[in-house]
């Protein structure tokens, strides 16, 4: 949630920046009206309180001098109190209206973010590695996976419907090996391992910025009391909801390896084959909680941590800064890591690393108390939160299978994964 106080002081500039994120003219007009209504309500209530102070002094002065005038002043005092009560109710309603509206408004983009309506305006920051030049026609992972009997899409669909898969044998072991490598790298970089709940309440989804914007994208229980997590970012951010952290405890860094569940409601017809866009997938998620003045430096660090997985796997990839129109709802700045997939002849996203600044912290009321000289007590300040895939394990599986395929249909196991697979060097047809 963006800061409404900033809106009050500089509405035009902020709404202009929000429009680069897809906030349309109707939403902009509604937002302006809500801010103006709240400001008027505050001013009206404050004006009436000042009148009350003046009237109270008048009653006290007239009490012994003019009983009749004193009585009239007391009646005016009662009327003023009733009007103040109504004004405070109006202010409360204006607050609620603005709060509900702000829950639907995305985060402000950082100044360094390229402006644009969609992914065509993304900016490639760097490209690492060169796609392999195969001497044969590279196959897609779904063909390789089924021929090697490590993926079974038919049985996944039979059990659960479309966009589900069964990993078999060495396929399951390869998935686990990838997760183990990512967790080891995260641990070496100071992230604390967490196993969070997979079911969360509505307030947890709202605090992380998932609700109300993405309510239709989650899987909910029948009574809607719980949702399956779309990403472990949700429970990790909520670990410190409604808390004031000690300055010396920052930055806090967490890593979790969990299944994630998404309806993919907006992806009809896209990536219907393979592992790219499933309803259930595994992901290693990194979350950082930092001081505000350190968060963009932390974003670079977190991105490097995610990149190191691809470097260890020796996969060609690139890093792109997403445009204002392509970023996620809660992000102020995002880097996408896009790995080369020879079976598709394209770079595809395998990780997103985002700085959400104080957007989630304001919703979830996560603050810290900055250190002050002389032992003085300082006012609690909102933290900044960051998140990134340490990678989406299924997409890393795709990248390994397609980049390390051989002409005979077997898969060379990257050297970084062999320790987790008992020294196995090749995945071949049984």
249-299 per-position pLDDT tens digit: 999 999 999 999 999 866 666 677 899 999 999 999 999 999 999 999 999
Strands 426-427 and 411-412, sheet pairing: antiparallel
The predicted structure's pLDDT at residue 87? 87
Distance of alpha carbon 406 from alpha carbon 138, whole angstroms: 9
Distance CA 297, CA 319 (A): 16
Question: Does residue 346 surpass a pLDDT of 80?
Answer: yes
Label the pairing between strands 346-355 and 226-228.
unpaired
CA atoms within 13 A on the CB side of 106: 23
Domains of the chain with CATH codes: 4-102 (1.10.287), 119-427 (3.30.930.10)
Q: Read off the DSSP letter of residue 341.
A: E
Residue in the structure block whose two tokens are 């997590």 = 229
User: What integer pLDDT is reported at residue 246 of this predicted model?
Assistant: 94
Q: Which ranges of 133-253 does DSSP label H, i.e. alpha helix?
A: 141-147, 153-160, 170-188, 202-207, 233-238
DSSP 249: G
Residue 420 has pLDDT above 60, yes or no: yes
Among 53-67, 165-179, 319-333, the range scoring the smallest mean pLDDT is 53-67
pLDDT per residue as tens digits for the range 207-220: 999 999 888 899 99
Question: Residue 62: pLDDT above 60?
Answer: no
pLDDT at 7 over 60: yes
Active site residues: 262, 277, 349, 352, 395
Task: Name the pLDDT band for 45 (thresholds 50, 70, 90).
Answer: confident
Mean pLDDT, residues 394-400: 96
CA-angle at 381, arms to 377 and 382, nearest 5°: 160
Is the omega angle on the peptide bond into residue 419 within 30 degrees of 0, that is, cis? no
Q: What are phi and psi of 334, to 5 degrees?
A: -140, 135
| Burial of 108 per CB tally in 10 Å (0-12, 13-18, 19+) | buried
CA distance 347 to 329: 23
Q: Which helix (H) or strand (E) holds 368?
A: strand 367-369
Burial state string for 343-377 with b = 16 or more CB within 10 A and e = fewer than 16 = bbeebbbbbbbbbbbbbbbbbbebbbeeeeeeeee
Residue 267: predicted pLDDT: 60
Report residue 271: phi and psi, to 5°.
50, 50
3-state SS, residue 196: coil
Contacts of 197 (CB under 8 A, 6+ apart): 229, 235
Q: Does the pLDDT of residue 157 top 70, yes or no?
A: yes
The C-alpha angle with vertex 191 and arms to 185 and 192, in degrees rounded to 5, equals 120
Q: What is the mean pLDDT of the chain?
A: 92
Q: 3-state class of 181 per DSSP? A: helix
Distance CA(105)–CA(426), nearest Å, equals 49
User: Mean of the pLDDT values across residues 388-410?
Assistant: 95
pLDDT at 332: 98
């Amino acid at each position: 949630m963006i800061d409404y106080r900033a809106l009050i002081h500089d509405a035009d500039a902020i709404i202009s920046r929000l429009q680069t994120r897809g906030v349309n003219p109707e939403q902009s007009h509604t937002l302006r009206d809500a801010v103006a209504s709240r400001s008027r309500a505050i001013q009206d209530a404050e004006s009436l309180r000042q009148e009350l102070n003046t009237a109270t002094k008048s009653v006290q002065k007239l009490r012994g001098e003019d009983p009749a005038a004193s009585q009239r002043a007391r009646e005016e005092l009662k009327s003023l109190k009733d009007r103040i009560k109504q004004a405070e109710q109006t202010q409360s309603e204006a607050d609620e209206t603005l709060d509900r509206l702000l829950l639907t408004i995305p985060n402000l983009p950082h100044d360094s973010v390229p402006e644009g309506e969609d992914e065509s305006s993304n900016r490639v920051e760097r490209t690492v590695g060169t796609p392999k030049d195969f001497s044969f026609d590279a196959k897609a992972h779904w063909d390789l996976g089924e021929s090697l009997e490590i993926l079974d899409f038919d049985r996944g669909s039979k059990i659960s419907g479309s966009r589900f898969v069964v990993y078999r044998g060495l396929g399951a072991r390869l998935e686990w090996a990838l997760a183990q490598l990512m967790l080891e790298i995260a641990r070496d970089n100071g992230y604390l391992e967490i196993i969070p709940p997979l079911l969360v309440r509505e307030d947890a989804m709202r605090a992380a910025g998932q609700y109300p914007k993405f309510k239709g994208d989650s899987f909910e229980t029948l009574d809607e009391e719980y949702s399956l997590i779309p990403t472990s970012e949700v429970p990790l951010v909520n670990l410190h909801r409604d808390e004031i952290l000690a300055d010396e405890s920052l930055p806090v860094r967490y890593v979790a390896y969990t299944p994630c569940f998404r309806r993919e409601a907006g992806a009809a017809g896209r990536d219907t084959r393979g592992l790219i866009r499933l309803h259930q997938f595994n992901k290693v998620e990194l979350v950082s909680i930092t001081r505000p003045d350190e968060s963009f430096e932390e974003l670079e660090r977190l991105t490097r941590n995610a990149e190191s997985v691809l470097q260890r796997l020796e996969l060609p990839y690139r890093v792109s800064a997403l445009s204002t129109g392509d970023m996620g709802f809660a992000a102020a700045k995002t880097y996408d890591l896009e790995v080369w997939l020879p079976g598709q002849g394209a770079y595809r996203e395998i990780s997103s690393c985002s700085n959400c600044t104080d957007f989630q912290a304001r919703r979830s009321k996560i603050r810290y108390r900055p250190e002050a000289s002389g032992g003085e007590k300082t006012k609690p300040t909102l933290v900044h939160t960051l998140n990134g895939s340490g990678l989406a394990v299924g997409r890393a599986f795709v990248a390994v299978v397609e980049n390390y395929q051989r002409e005979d249909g077997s898969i060379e196991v990257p050297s970084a994964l062999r320790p987790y697979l008992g020294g196995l060097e090749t995945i071949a047809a049984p």
